[in-house]
Amino acid sequence: MKQDVYSQPGAPDPVLTEETVMGIVRRCVPGARRMTGVDESGGEARTYAADEDVILKVQRPHRLRWRTALEKEVFFLRQIEKVNLPVPRVLGYGRDGGIEYTCMTRIPGIPVCRAGLSPERRRAMLVELGKVLRAIHSLDPKPFIESGLFPMDEDADLAERLRRRAVSGVRAQKEETLPVIEAALSKLPPVVQFAAVHSNPGATHTFVDETDGRFTGLIDFGDAYIGHPVLDLLRWNAEERKPLLEGYTAENPLDGAFQAVLQVVDRLDEIIED
């Protein structure tokens, strides 16, 4: 697997003026009135809010890397439009001089990491998220592959991703642990199911209503790639994956190969906790 390298780390990263932001936004939403906020999270993109329901997402030049792409996210979101899921809707994409941007609708609510959900509300959120992830993973992967925008895992990459997760998660790095991890990984079946995966559908990118904790949507598809769908489920811990899988399998059960992968994941979790 490729390693992340920022292609132009020294490039200027100015915060855009409201005039510039609204000039771009109004090309996509002519009636937009004013800029209402700037998200300075420090990620690969900076987002500007307009009014109550519009987001302008701009690639930060010094954080440009092969794995993240606004064009890729736009492609993914437009594929999802065909199945009507709670994700941002693309209003426009393009370039304004040196500014690459996406204009999209805003998912209401706040990220789960800031919500302070009760156990019951958190469980309900995970069930709904599981349903959405299953629908996303069920999209035909052929258009994603043919677009040339999405990095694609090889068979060996699933084992490598799980290996890195296990090694980094082991509390005490002991030499005797590594063979146990390898023994667990040896049980992986050949990868027969590839899908367009979100990459990080965790608590930062999963949104809920601020008042009642109801699941409202999933954002940020800029790191998506073609891989095994189980990898999206691993953004939640073993206990949280139970309701997540309840939603994921609500309409269709998992096949034997997917279940075998989950058994390996469960064994690796046991090793990590030892």
Per domain, the residue ranges of the chain are 18-105, 110-273
Written as six digits, the tokens of 258 are 């997917």
- What are 34-56's pLDDT values in tens digits? 999 998 766 778 899 999 999 99
Give the predicted TM-score (pTM) of the model.
Answer: 0.92
Per CATH, the number for 18-105 is: 3.30.200.20
Evaluate whether 18-105 and 110-273 have a shared fold. no
Q: Which residues pair with 111 in a beta bridge?
A: 207
Query: Looking at 15-29, 130-144, 169-183, which range is the least confident one?
Result: 169-183
What distance in Å separates the CA atoms of residue 236 and residue 256, rounded to the nearest whole number? 22
The three-state DSSP-derived secondary structure of 26-81 is: HHHCCCCCCEEEEECCCCCEEEEEECCCEEEEEECHHHCECCCCHHHHHHHHHHHH
- What are 213-251's pLDDT values in tens digits? 999 999 999 999 999 999 999 999 999 999 999 999 999
What distance in Å separates the CA atoms of residue 207 and residue 24, rounded to the nearest whole number? 26
Which residue is associated with the tokens 């064009």? 71
- pLDDT exceeds 80 at position 266: yes
Q: Which residues pair with 152 in a beta bridge?
A: 226
What interhelical angle do 241-248 and 119-137 show, nearest 10? 40
At residue 177, the pLDDT reads 87
- pLDDT exceeds 80 at position 165: yes
- Phi, psi at residue 47, to the nearest 5°? -115, 145
Q: Which CATH number fits domain 110-273: 3.40.50.300, 1.10.1740.10, 3.90.1200.10, 3.30.1050.10?
A: 3.90.1200.10
The residue among 175 and 2 whose pLDDT is bigger is 175
- What are 115-129's pLDDT values in tens digits? 999 999 999 999 999
Using DSSP's 3-state secondary structure scheme, residue 191 falls into coil
Q: What percent of the chain has pLDDT over 70?
A: 91
- pLDDT exceeds 90 at position 189: yes
- What are 88-123's pLDDT values in tens digits? 999 999 999 888 999 999 999 999 999 999 999 999
- pLDDT exceeds 50 at position 151: yes
